[in-house]
Amino acid sequence: MTKEEVCSRIEHIGIVPAIRVSSSEEAHFAASAVNRAGIPIAEITATVPGAVEVITRLVKECPKMVLGAGTVLDVDLAKQCLDAGAHFLTSPCLVLEIVDFAVKQGVAVLPGALTPTEVLTAWKAGSDFVKVYPCAPVGADSYIRALKAPFPQVKLIAAGGITQQTALHYLLAGASALGVGTALIPREALRMRQEEQIHELARRFKKMVKKAHNPESSP
* Model pLDDT for residues 187-213, shown as the tens digit of each residue: 999 999 999 999 999 999 999 999 999
pLDDT tier, 129 (very low <50, low <70, confident <90, very high otherwise): very high
pLDDT for 175: 98
For residues 23 and 3, what is the distance between their CA atoms, to the nearest angstrom? 29
Determine which helix (DSSP H) or strand (DSSP E) holds 89, and give its type and residue range: strand 88-90
Determine which helix (DSSP H) or strand (DSSP E) holds 146, and give its type and residue range: helix 140-148
| Structural domains present in the chain | 3-210 (3.20.20.70)
pLDDT tier, 215 (very low <50, low <70, confident <90, very high otherwise): confident
Which stretches does DSSP call E strand in 33-169? 41-45, 66-70, 88-90, 108-110, 112-113, 130-132, 156-159
pTM for the full predicted model = 0.95
